[in-house]
Amino acid sequence: MTNTTILAPAKQPWYKLLYAQVLIAIVLGVIVGWLFPTFAQNEWIKALGDGFVKLIRMAIAPIIFCTVVSGIAHIKAAAQVGRVAIKALVYFEVMSTFALIIGLLVANLAHPGEGFPGKPDAAAIATYQNAAKTTHSIDFVMNIIPDSVVGAFAKGDVLEVLLFSILFGFALMALGDRGKTVRDLIDDVAHAMFGVIAIILKAAPIGAFGAMAFTIGRYGPSALGNLAYLIALFYLTCALFVIIVLGAVGKIAGFSIFKFLNYIKAELLIVLGASSSEAALPQLLEKMERLGCSKPVVGLVVPTGYSFNLDGTNIYMTLSTLFIAQAMGVDLSLWEQLVILAVAMLSSKGASGITGAGFTTLVITLSSVRPELVVGVSMLLGIDKFMSECRAITNIIGNGVACIVVSWWEGELDRTKLNAELDRGADASNLQAAVATG
């Protein structure tokens, strides 16, 4: 027997690290958008950010399929899949409730809408009102079922792909040894798809620059105006939720939220630049496995969390609802605020995947409690781009924490790998190397 020495990967210069490149790109984007707003609003600048997000979305469906199918097909008992799903949904609802309540508490304490000089514009939200009228809980359930398997992958709808992947995974599990060839093929395809993501990520700085330059150029300081306080309050509330609530959850599960944030810093910067949590979904799936979470848990919890575990969106829902009520001089009773909480819990899921879902869910919620407040949503149109960045960052952090917690709860967490990876502070630039080594 020979002794083998495992060498740690050579440390890269800071300028070659993905998170450093994306951070520089974001700063440059802010500068260009601020100093040259006309140039920054050019459609080709916007296309840089949109193009990067489209490249990521192109790979999401096959990666979810391979991750979920591989995870389910490699386990022995079907009951484990159901158990993981139930635990994940319970966790999602508990965290969603915390997020909604925190949004209500902050709005009641800070009163961000009092004395706001802006005026509602009914015409500006007509599109969202129409979408709200056609959105029902039954539509959400039916939309999970794709019209066809090909259609699910063509649309890239996470829940549709997830449903088919679970069914395919169970079918492959039932084949036993006869399904080994297909399982091996899917595992190989998964490695290849993560290799594709590693290539796409090289364009992340360009995408972040384009998206940030366009955002600042179009919705820069002049668009903030009197709403700067609401934006700052929302960012602060989300930060407190992550540090205090998710930090406490992480402490119970045995890991540090600050080490976790450092571990996914590249993904957070990508989300910040792209204003979309989907931009980091493939990397999050890969990193959760490297942290010691089992394949079935990663495959079920992370994609499902993108529709059911929206902590940042939930904080935004209740905080914005009370802001609108305060700005319009409407005093909401405690009972009405509790009704808002309950309706927001449902509407945030029911409108998932709808264009302008943030505003649509607000319209649905307000229509159910105080219809006269619906017009007030128009006051938030100008700042939604800045709010969406914080929503997306909070959502992806919440989903990463959820995956670790459910893995720990299920007894499927490799604590040694978790501690080693968090101490090492991996960067997404090493994604391709990690995939190559299996």
Q: What percent of the chain has pLDDT over 70?
A: 82
- Please check whether residue 305 lies inside any domain of the structure: yes
CA distance 409 to 314: 24
Q: Which residue range forms the structural domain that includes residue 309?
A: 14-436
* 280-308 tens-digit pLDDT: 888 898 899 899 998 888 888 888 888 78
The pLDDT score that the predictor gives to residue 76 is 64
Closest CA to 422 of 182, 256, 298, 241: 256
Domain membership flag for residue 7: no
Return d(Cα 93, Cα 364) in angstroms, integer: 19
- Report the pLDDT averaged over residues 141-166: 80
For residue 39, CA distances in Å to 42, 53, 100, 294, 403 come to 5, 21, 39, 47, 42
Model confidence, pTM: 0.80
Under the banding of pLDDT at 50, 70 and 90, the label for residue 435 is very low
- As given in the structure block, the two tokens for residue 236 are 């602060």
pLDDT at 1: 40
Residue 9 lies in a domain: no
| Angle (deg, nearest 10), helices 43-73 and 204-219 | 130
* Percent of the chain topping pLDDT 90: 19
Residue 184: the pLDDT is 87
> How does pLDDT run across 225-270, given as a tens digit for each residue?
667 888 899 999 999 999 999 999 999 999 999 999 999 998 898 8
Q: What is the mean pLDDT of residues 136-165?
A: 76
| 282 found inside a domain | yes
CA pair distance 230, 113, nearest whole angstrom = 8
pLDDT for residue 427 is more than 70: no
pLDDT of residue 349: 64
Contact predicate 365/340, CB 8 Å: yes
Average pLDDT over residues 170-187: 85
Residue 225 lies in a domain: yes
| Structural domain count, the chain | 1
Query: From the CA atom positions of the chain, what is the Rg in Å?
Result: 22
pLDDT at position 433 is 44
Residue 418 lies in a domain: yes
In a domain, 21, yes or no: yes
pLDDT tens for each residue of 56-112:
888 888 888 888 888 887 776 667 777 888 898 899 999 999 999 999 999 999 988
**Contact status, residue 272 vs residue 206, Cβ threshold 8 Å:** no
358 found inside a domain? yes
User: Domain with 116 in it: what CATH number?
Assistant: 1.10.3860.10
